[in-house]
Amino acid sequence: MKLKVKIFADGADKTALLELSKDPAIQGFTTNPTLMRKAGVSDYEAFARDVLREVKDRPISFEVFSDEFAGMETQAMKLASWGQNVYVKIPVTNTRGESSAALIRRLAGRGVKVNATAILTIAQVQEIARSLAGGPPSIISVFAGRIADTGVDPLPIMKAALEIVAPYPNIEIIWASPREVLNIVQADQIGCHIITVTGDLLKKLSVLGRGLDEMSLDTVRMFHRDAVTAGYTL
């Protein structure tokens, strides 16, 4: 199945990331402090610079972690200085719920490629799109998976987000936090620009478009193989 949506690998395992960088189907990379912590990254700058020495031809996002806007701005400028392909992830608010829109507008005005993150509402997309309008290439990451986790269908929100940024050629929408391969198909069908995909989900891409009869037979064979291997008797 040929996809139009761009696949960005989401993770912070350096070995896996560098291996994926050899795959032309992976068109970009995203990280965040949570993924980096889970991957055992202890030196943020050393990790980022190591990766950037190898990944120079595709976008890669690194996130600020200060909770104060002045600190975010300082960190953002430092991160942006590490490479032309660096997108700086700025959360839509700080931990007190204060909007980052003004900061994002300043950064865009200074030529920083921003990846506005942790966005879940149409109102947030509207506000951030206004801040990024007319600036350098930028991304708005809408966490469709987290929207779905609350029992809300993310598709109408994702479609609305795409309509909001349509007048702004410098802004792309990411379908963030997908939960299953179906989400990749959905993102592709609605014309979403990018979808972030974790390593576990990337492994499942091999079954994309596979016939259901064949999948059924594989499932039957798996059950039989595992029962035989376990030595079960009745």
User: In this predicted structure, what is the pLDDT of residue 2?
Assistant: 84
User: In this predicted structure, what is the pLDDT of residue 194?
Assistant: 98
The three state secondary structure string of the chain is CCCCCEEEEECCCHHHHHHHCCCCCEEEEECCHHHHHHCCCCCHHHHHHHHHHHCCCCCEEEECCCCCHHHHHHHHHHHHCCCCCEEEEEECECCCCCECHHHHHHHHHCCCCEEEEEECCHHHHHHHHHHHCCCCCEEEEEEHHHHHHCCCCCHHHHHHHHHHHCCCCCEEEEEECCCCHHHHHHHHHCCCCEEEEEHHHHHHHHHCCCCHHHHHHHHHHHHHHHHHHHCCCC
Second-level CATH architecture of 6-207:
Alpha-Beta Barrel (3.20)
User: In this predicted structure, what is the pLDDT of residue 208?
Assistant: 85
User: In this predicted structure, what is the pLDDT of residue 139?
Assistant: 98
Ranges of residues in the chain with a pLDDT under 50 are none
User: In this predicted structure, what is the pLDDT of residue 28?
Assistant: 98
Domain ranges of the chain: 6-207
